[in-house]
Chain A
Amino acid sequence: MTLEEEPLLAPPMGAWITPRPARGLEVLQRLVGLPKLVSGHRDLVLTTLKRDLSARFQGTLLGWAWPILQPLLLFAIYYFIFTRFLGQRMPALPESQQAGMGVYMFCAMISWGALGESLGRGTSVIVDNGNLIKKLAFPSELLPLNVVLASLVMMLFGVAIFIAVCFTSVWPRPGLALAWIPLIVVLQGLFTYGIVLFLTTLHVFLRDTAQVVGMVTTVWMFLTPVFWVPELLSAGPGGASVEQHMGLIHANPAYHLVSAWRGALMGDVSLTLESGVLTPVSVAAIPGHLGVFALWALGAYVLGYAFFVHSQRRFADEV
């Protein structure tokens, strides 16, 4: 019996199972082996993903219309309320990009929404499924993966809605930059998964984690340029210069993520001001942002998964 025939069990069948926690080479094998694990358990992953998604709309009147309605409503809010009603605009926008500020917020919101949702739901996913962990032997890393995948799928509904909206006159149609989206999604998934793995493991041992994560996520969202344009910041509190601001902002992985999303979805937005030309959104900047973000994603994944794998065997005793 070869291993290829039996991809379903995490430790190879018939191997000795000892009390030694996974470390070193073993952790590395698990890190690299995730795609194999997922493909071996693709039935489980797909079934639970489907379950998770349909559970959200089970029993609702509109059912599967919701994932389409939700981003549509979100877009309407940012477009009509912020742009039209409240008149939130970037200065000196070109004629075709009058809705710039609303679209700017929306594009970050769909991406941030997925990240925030994953952190919120994912932190407690192991503890919440304690009954499963205690009674069934299955790779528990698939539980947080499920949370992350579900949020990514919901995000992609938002992306699709935005692209559909661009066929009206609200925003110019996006171009070839859309080709970046698969890579952005993969990196966002990796980043989110890493953080969720870390937090959910921590939460098993320290139940205060979920409380803290809720608050930190909110603060993080406001620190990330979701609702404001960093390039348009004037001198900040304490007289910090714009350059200093930008330094701090660049240290935030979520900034690189939302910037890459905006570039891919919105194309170029440049503002010709008296002080010079600002490009808050640009396609050309995508590779730079993604490069930095890829490092963050890899780091988060390695750290989070290593912590998870190291502690995994104690979950059933602690939840």
Chain B
Amino acid sequence: MTKSFALEAEQLGKAYRVYPRPLRRIGEWLSGGRYKGHHEFWALRGIDLALKPGASLGLCGANGAGKSTLLKVLSGTTAPSAGRYRVNGRVASLLELGAGFHLDFTGRANIVLNGVMMGFSRRELEKKTPEIIEFAELGAYIDEPVRTYSSGMGLRLGFAIAATVDPDVLIIDEVFAVGDMYFQKKCVDRIYQFKKRNKTIVFCSHSLYDVRQFCDQALWLERGEPRAIGDSVYVTNEYASYQRHHITAVEEAVRSQHPPVPESQRGRPADMPSILDARIYRLGTDEECYEVKSGDSLEIRVWWRNPRPALTPIQIGIVFMRGDMTLCGGQATHFQDVRLTGTSGCLVLKAPELGLLAGQFLIPAILFDDAGVHRYQEFMMPQNLHVRSHTREVGLFRLDLAFEQRELAPPAARAPVPAAPGP
């Protein structure tokens, strides 16, 4: 392969034709294109992409912003209406888990059927069938008709097939939103491995955290047009701050950054890691407190349990989030190389002379997998932290700022600065 890009797109666009009634279409045919009976709805416009092998691109944006449409065009299920794109290598797309299963056939037969649909050879699939079965953890069910599967089982099989065949470009549409916690974790691990092997990934997610963790680059779409593209941290921050300024979008931001942890732990093995409790104390004392002044010293204690540390190593992160979802700061064990060994323990985060200015802060403790990618659990403190300040400083943090007056002449005129390449 001498081609430098795995995936390229130039001014890619997609329009859907909308016919108010079927007769208009006939009119169009009969008039030989002179009469236009439809109007066009542009779901996507002006997308430029260039992804090298090994790159990963995350798509973010509100519902209906064109994320799924872009994935559909890139995976080849629908043709573009403007611009052009090309893919160097084999593509596997996971636009919907389990698309193309034949219900009357066994899981084993469906592996081959589904795989050859994606363009992989039967021989290749038969070789990989044991691996797929093992990943899907269907056991004896693999030889039962898919009709008898629960929706979760069908889903596991679908993901196992797409993840095990060996494409060069993997296109995934919001798959982490499904399945139980345990299987989600497996999916995340598999995609991580995939990335390590220098394969290209394009995926969309409502979880900005996922986009940030998985992707080097991100594309923010709004009403089908690119708002920002570039480094994933930069783009997701832009997107998050945009959302904050739009009251209607705020609710979505809350939901996407903090998907509700399911109340019932149904389907989750009892020996998965969990956070038992978390509270805030004055530093070095046992006095629990949630109303503090700027500059007070605090510590946050998190009690955790992990019955199988060898199998499911964990990391814990604690973040400070203002009421309007501004992420003010945070720390995690995987950032500081703290190892959480043993089957249970209490982790303490010390915050001497808290620099936060007045406000109300949410402080979730997040239980991660080893890589800090998958969230097992998000634990909210019993109360929000109220910080009062006695100075008139503005902003989020108290920075070390001080004034001084000097006798200096004004500087010489500056040469014009070239405009920074903006999004």
> Are B16 and A317 interface neighbours, CB within 8 A?
yes
B93: chain A residues at CB < 8 Å are 135-137
The answer to the question of B83 belonging to the interface, with a C-beta cut-off of 8 Å to chain A, is yes
Asked if A16 and B86 make an inter-chain contact with CB atoms under 8 angstroms apart, the answer reads yes
Q: Is B119 an interface residue (CB 8 A)?
A: yes
CB-CB nearest in chain A for B114: A136
Which residue of B has the minimal Cβ distance to A46? B122
Chain A residues lying within 8 Å of B22, measured Cβ to Cβ, are 206-208
Docked pose: A55 CA to B96 CA in angstroms: 24
A197 CA to B312 CA, complexed, in Å: 54
Whether the pair B99, A132 counts as a contact (CB closer than 8 A) is: yes
> B88 contacts the other chain (Cβ, under 8 Å)?
yes
Complex CA–CA separation, A112 to B80 (angstroms) = 41
Min CB gap B132→A, angstroms: 16
Interface residues on A, range: 35 or more
Once A18-B84, A51-B113, A59-B104 are accepted as A-B contacts, the answer to whether A135 and B79 lie under 8 Å apart by CB is no
**B197 interface hit (Cβ, 8 Å):** no
> With A and B bound together, what is the CA distance between A135 and B172 in angstroms?
11
Interface size on B, residues (CB 8 A): 43
Q: Once the chains are docked, how many angstroms separate the CA of A132 from the CA of B410? A: 70
B81 interface hit (Cβ, 8 Å): yes
B91 at the interface (CB under 8 A from A): yes
Taking a contact as CB atoms under 8 Å apart, the answer to whether A43 and B85 are in contact is: no
Instruction: Answer whether residue B3 sits at the interface, using C-beta atoms and an 8 A cutoff.
Output: yes
What chain B residues lie within 8 Å of A58 (beta carbons)?
A: 104
Query: B104-130 interface mask toward A, CB cutoff 8 Å, 1 = contact, 0 = none?
Result: 110001001100111111100000000
The CA of A199 and the CA of B80, in the complex, are separated in Å by 25
Interfacial residues of chain A within 187-207, with CB under 8 A of chain B in the complex: 205-207
* Residue contacts A-B, CB under 8 angstroms, 20 given: A1-B1, A8-B90, A16-B85, A16-B86, A18-B84, A19-B81, A19-B82, A43-B116, A43-B122, A44-B117, A47-B112, A55-B104, A132-B99, A132-B117, A134-B72, A138-B118, A206-B26, A313-B79, A316-B72, A316-B77
19 extra A-B contacts, CB within 8 A, seeds A47-B122, A132-B99, A206-B25:
A1-B1, A8-B120, A13-B88, A14-B86, A17-B79, A19-B83, A43-B121, A44-B116, A48-B113, A55-B104, A131-B99, A131-B100, A134-B72, A135-B100, A136-B93, A136-B95, A136-B99, A208-B22, A316-B79
Shortest 6 CB-CB contacts between residues of A and residues of B: A313-B79, A137-B76, A135-B99, A316-B78, A43-B122, A44-B116
